[in-house]
Structure 1
């Protein structure tokens, strides 16, 4: 085989691999936690990217939850985890959500998300500064089991979930999905596929009504 043919063959292989790599690396199911029932047509779709230990994500949740419940018949919500690298234990707490999502129904996942929001101070700053990764993970396991309502029933399953590479990959896919969509902070919102302005800042109830009212008329 001539050098020219060899070069073309190598280039073709590299090109083919670059084209196929995004396909073979896709997750088995779409990312995100649907709030309530699955997606339906002719409904406004809100996508929220949250970090469980982000104060701005925490502050934006009550108003978002309010409008979604108020317009449940016309609005759908899906939440994606986006663990910011500069937030302590953001990846581990996000992983706990993916583990819970596999163990129980979706309402339990949102219940855990709210629990993290209400007790964020346990997972960053001085609370974990001098603790090892293993100790912090054990605390997250205990916290998650308690949040699910039966520590004796779910403790071992949750602990095993942190050893399961599938939950690690799911959490990484969620982060990469946000990067592909152009997410760079939390909270970050899309409405019908279009990003809202002021990413990284909480949006109050009036702000959501200003966004949704023209779409819901």
Structure 2
């Protein structure tokens, strides 16, 4: 019997080999398509995670300075934090002294271990929402009232108090600082929108890496050394060099923008 050396394999063998190659390619294609689909779905899932809803204020409870300022200073405070109570008078003085050269943006970040911090933050949000037109002045005055009487809402002082009793303390500060009525204050404290916006303000801080108070960002960069012990001079030492640089850059940029807008 003569061998098949040098001859082409039978047609059925070619078909079987081609079928195996086709099956492998098909399986490989399906696997790649499946992997690509999972990747796309994962990306869509990440992008579709609900963002923190915009509240009309940029999650800012208080603004000092002007929107056109050369330097933006973002401050995170906790109304029940003793370091914030020390820092507030200095920050307030700095914001006033620098005027329209800086914009101070305050956000509240109620720390979980301060039992009444969130309730105080809700009180500030109530004043902001119920004092349209004068909210910044009212909130700033409320901050001062709270920080002066902060011991009254400390964990130790309120250990045996009921929630309504604690709210009454906040009410006295809110009404005296903003002029709002007690009825409006309690209405705001029970308002679901106030609750949501206060929670979202805290979430905003978490999203931006805030882990304590007071925490200060200048031009979006974390500024160390501006804690509760910071003096007016400490602020000057940081702000003045930055402002001297931005003041020389701003006119150039405005001129460039005007030329390119024509």
**Aligned positions of 1:98-177 closer than 5 A:** 98-104=125-131, 105=134, 106-149=136-179, 154-177=181-204
Structure 2 alignment gaps of length 5 or more: 1-30, 245-262
C-alpha distance in 1, partners of 2:94/2:65? 16
Q: CA deviation at 1:175?
A: 1.0
Deviations 1:150-185 (A, max 9, x none): xxx521111011111111111111111111111111
TM-score by length of 1: 0.86
CA contact (8 A) 2:76 2:107 kept: yes
Task: Give the Cα–Cα distance (whole angstroms) in 2 for the partners of residues 85 and 187 of structure 1.
Answer: 15
Aligned to 1:87: 114
Shift of 1:58: 1.0
Change (3 A) 1:167 1:68: same
TM-score between the two structures when normalised by the length of structure 2: 0.72
Change in Cα spacing, 1:65 to 1:10, as seen in structure 2 (3 Å) is same
Q: Secondary structure at the match of 2:48?
A: helix
- What is the CA RMSD across the aligned residues, in angstroms? 2.5
> Per chain length, whose mean CA-contact separation is higher, i.e. which structure has more relative contact order (CA < 8 Å, sep 6+)?
1
SS in 2 for 1:182: coil
CA deviations on 1:37-56 (whole Å, 9 max, x unpaired) are: 55215x21111101111111
CA distance in 1, matches of 2:42, 2:195: 28
The 1:139–1:66 alpha-carbon spacing in structure 2 relative to 1, beyond 3 Å, is closer
Residues 111 and 208 of structure 1, relative CA distance in 2, 3 Å threshold: same
What is the alpha-carbon distance in structure 1 between the residues aligned to residue 204 and residue 226 of structure 2?
16
Structure 1 unpaired stretches of 5+: none
| Bigger radius of gyration among the two | 2
Q: Which of 234, 245, 256 lines up with 1:207 in the alignment? A: 234
When the two structures are aligned, how many residues end up with a matched partner?
210
Residue 65 in 1 paired to residue 95 in 2? no
User: Which residue of 9, 15, 21 maps to 2:49?
Assistant: 21
Question: Are 1:46 and 2:73 matched, yes or no?
Answer: yes
Q: CA deviation at 1:9?
A: 7.5
